Amino acid sequence: MNSRLAERRSAALSRGVGTMTGVYAERASNAEIWDVEGRRYIDFASGIAVVNTGHCHPRIVEAARAQLERFTHTCHQVVPYENYVALAERLNALVPGPGEKKTVFLTTGAEAVENAVKIARAATGRSAVIAFSGGFHGRTFMGMSLTGKVFPYKAGFGAMSGDVFHAPFPIPLHGITAEDSLAALEQIFKSDVDPGRVAAIILEPVQGEGGFYPAPPEFMTALRELCDRHSILLIADEVQTGFARTGRLFAMEHHDVAPDLTTMAKSLAGGFPLAAVTGRAELMDAPHAGGLGGTYGGNPLGIAAAHAVLDIIEEEGLCERAERLGACLKQRIGGLRDVVPEIVDIRGPGFMNAVEFNVPGSGAPDPEFANTVRAKALENGLILLTCGVRANVIRFLAPITIEESVFAQALDILEDALLASREAHQGKEAALAS
């Protein structure tokens, strides 16, 4: 059935919509998915960090069901509803940063980023925005423009939005220090754009598509100081890092500084489309009435689900659980470094983890090895995702609610995939040598 569905999909859908697997889902529960042929998979993708609270968590299902029986849509801008206001109040209290905050709800992460830029421009009267190499901020034109990776996100889509500049993201593993990135920002101010014309600097506290590289604490502190010195707003894109994934509700809680605006989506509503921007009240009030919004922004079902997500994170201790699961995963992979020399780095806060592969002895990235590991894991029922500008990174995004027995089984499959990939590559090396 999977192959027949793949044929139908190819005939009916745009080629531009890619897929990571040929597996067609029939049903899912927590960290497990069953396909249309009845085969079971352990999900270490979570819809790309969307179901941190697991597939079909009973409390989320019940919250959505209860809302479904009341009403499904009014458009908050036409007929508002209380749970929208209540969720904004909760996020205003939870998002890092001092002082009064306000929130707007949207539908996708790209919309959240677009609106954060709109808010920053309205609040500062400036137009330029600085982002970082390797960052991912969405597939709209502003999102693509901010994104620091060409293929597949920008290639073939023409000119990007203007007044967007990029600096290298600090990745010590690749020889880019925090000092290098800060120096590059100063060079941008000298050669490309007056800092007095920059509305905002946007970054992911842990890069997602770029390779799961955490921003060094000293860089975040210096970046906050730089923004304050030039009256530039700091936007934290927490679309992938938010909602307990890094061991904190928001990844910025790992730092001793706070952003001015925070974007969020993905796991905010546990599988329902919902996004938000939360920020300092005076900034959020800068756009004129009617300047923000959208027909489906803050859909009642997503709002109800998000309330349940916040309850689950707190009551089930998911921040603490993310720390424990991530430590276990990194320890297990770390124990294989001597026998899998392709492993060059194992990283990530909480349960937002990744392993990076290089060609042994050369330092060159090894995307082929990463893809081999992914494919062998899939053959044995474990769904993994690759990422990184060099495509040599595997990221781990299992639901934080994953059962202990399922997690243990996933780690066994992962270890087997790493060892089998090493064996396969040794066979290729031997064949080439002969």
| pLDDT tens column, 263-285 | 999 999 999 999 999 999 999 99
Looking at the fold, whether 376 and 426 belong to one and the same domain comes out as: yes
**Greatest pairwise CA separation for the chain in angstroms:** 74
Q: What share of the chain in percent tops pLDDT 90?
A: 92
* Span 322-371, pLDDT tens digits: 999 999 999 999 999 999 999 999 999 999 999 999 999 888 999 999 99
Residues 252, 151 share a domain: yes
Q: What is the per-residue pLDDT for 428?
A: 74
Shared domain check, 383 and 248:
no
Query: What is the per-residue pLDDT across 189-215, written as a single tens digit (0 to 9) for each?
Result: 999 999 999 999 999 999 999 999 999
Q: What is the CATH number of the domain that holds 361?
A: 3.90.1150.10
Looking at the structure, do residues 25 and 79 belong to the same domain, yes or no?
no
129: left (phi over 0), alpha (psi -120 to 50) or beta: beta
**Rounded CA gap, 333 and 347, in Å?**
10
Mean local confidence (pLDDT), 127-136: 97
Same domain, 117 and 173: yes
**pLDDT computed for residue 193 by the predictor:** 98
Q: What is the pLDDT of residue 346?
A: 98
Average pLDDT over residues 81-109: 97
Instruction: Indicate if the pLDDT at residue 378 is higher than 80.
Output: yes
Q: Assess whether 133 and 247 both reside in one domain.
A: yes
Domain boundary among 253, 286, 315: 315
Residue 397 banded pLDDT, cuts 50, 70, 90: very high
Residues 60 and 55: their CA atoms lie apart, in Å, by 9
| DSSP secondary structure string for all residues of 273-320 | --EEEEEEHHHHT-SPTTSS--TTTT-HHHHHHHHHHHHHHHHTTHHH
Tokens of 56: 């079909």
Per the CB < 8 A criterion, the answer to whether 421 and 372 are in contact is yes
> For residue 200, what is the DSSP state?
E
Instruction: For residue 322, count other CB atoms closer than 10 A to its CB.
Output: 24
**Residue 96 scores a pLDDT above 80:** yes
Rounded Cα–Cα distance for residues 375 and 382 (Å): 9
Print the domain residue range for 241: 61-315
Q: Are residues 102 and 238 in the same domain?
A: yes
Residues 122 and 17 in one domain: no
Helix H segments across 40-138? 46-49, 58-68, 82-94, 109-124
**pLDDT tens readout for residues 302-313:** 999 999 999 999
Phi and psi of 242, rounded to 5°? -80, 165
Of 315, 332, 362, which residue sits at a domain end? 315
On the question of pLDDT at 432 being above 70, the answer is no
- Looking at the chain, the whole-number percentage of residues with pLDDT higher than 70 is 99
Of the candidates 200, 213, 219, 131, the residue with the CA atom closest to the CA atom of residue 167 = 131
Count: domains in the chain: 2
Last residue of a domain, one of 261, 294, 315: 315
Count CB atoms within 10 A of the CB of residue 186: 12
| Rounded average pLDDT over 115-129 | 98
Do 188 and 334 lie in a common domain?
no
Regarding whether 345 and 280 lie in a shared domain, the answer is no
Query: Going by C-beta distance under 8 Å and a sequence separation of 6 or more, which residues neighbour residue 179?
Result: none
Across the range 62-84, mean pLDDT stands at: 97
How large is the C-alpha radius of gyration of the chain? 22
Q: Are residues 311 and 321 in the same domain?
A: no
Nearest partner of 240 among 74, 45, 392, judged by Cα:
45
Q: pLDDT tens-digit profile of 163-176?
A: 999 999 999 999 99
pLDDT reported for residue 29 = 98
- 433 pLDDT band, cuts 50/70/90, is low
Q: The dihedral of CA 401, 403, 409, 411: what is its sign?
A: positive
The reply to whether 332 and 367 lie within a common domain is yes
